[in-house]
Structures are given as structure tokens and as C-alpha cells.
Amino acid sequence: MNTVLKTAYASVTPYATKDGSHIRELMHPARHGNRAQSFAEAVVAPGMKTLLHRHRVTEEIYHITQGAGRMMLGTQQFPVAVGDTICIAPGTAHCIECVGDVALKILCACSPAYAHDDTELL
């Protein structure tokens, strides 16, 4: 028998992460019963930038759904916009800045699931 796991967007309260973004955990093993990954929406306000950080074991995939930004990924810097998808390998220093007039919204998939203990501020 398959279990259907569902989370209503409005039922999830956002919180501030160590890097300074606001996260809405849409699916996380600690709260929702899935096993191997987490899925969240991150919001970076206009003019704001997340703190430079890395994750020792987690691979992240960002997908931009609103706004425009500037991504720092290792030694690279590049613009990002709606529809762009970025893979962040474990151990890679990264941060993102909102450069537009509207908040930057990012869907974030993490495997293994996001954990505060895996986030190292640089």
C-alpha cells in the first residue's frame, strides 16, 4: 500500500536559517514522514544576500521561481532569474543575493535532507 504524503503551503510556517534566508519546509523527513530528502521554498528579500556557507554532506538544487539574483558558487559568480536551476555540490561555498525589486523565491531540494548541523558559515 502506498502512502500519500501531502503538505498544504499555507500550513507551513517559515523560519530564518543560519544563512539568513527565510525557509518554508514544504517536505522534510523530521516532520512529514518522507525518507531521503527535503524540499523547501527560500525567500531572499530585495537588496539582501544570504551568508556565504557550505554543506558538508548535502547536495542542493535551487530552482528560481520569482525575482532576479546573483549566485556565488565556488569561484564562479553569475546572474540567476526565473526558470534557472543550479546544482550545489556538497562542500561548495555558496550564497545568493536578491538584485531586483521583488523578493527572490527559490525552490530548494536537499539530499540528504537539510540539517542545521550540516551548514557551515564561512
* pLDDT at position 90 over 90: yes
Which has more pLDDT, 4 or 41? 41
Q: Indicate the pLDDT class of residue 3, thresholds 50, 70 and 90.
A: low
User: Looking at residue 28, what is its pLDDT?
Assistant: 87
- Tens digit of pLDDT for each residue in 55-83? 999 999 999 999 999 999 999 999 999 99
Contact assessment for residue 56 and residue 89, using Cβ atoms and an 8 Å cutoff: no
C-alpha dihedral (53, 57, 61, 62), degrees to nearest 10? -20
Query: How far is 118 from 39, CA to CA, in rounded Å?
Result: 16
Question: What is the distance in angstroms between the CA of the first residue and the CA of the last residue of the chain?
Answer: 45
- Tens digit of pLDDT for each residue in 11-57? 888 988 877 789 899 998 888 788 889 999 999 999 999 999 999 99
Is this prediction's pTM over 0.75?
A: yes
> Which CATH number fits the domain 17-114, given the four candidates 3.40.228.10, 2.60.120.10, 1.10.490.10, 3.30.920.30?
2.60.120.10
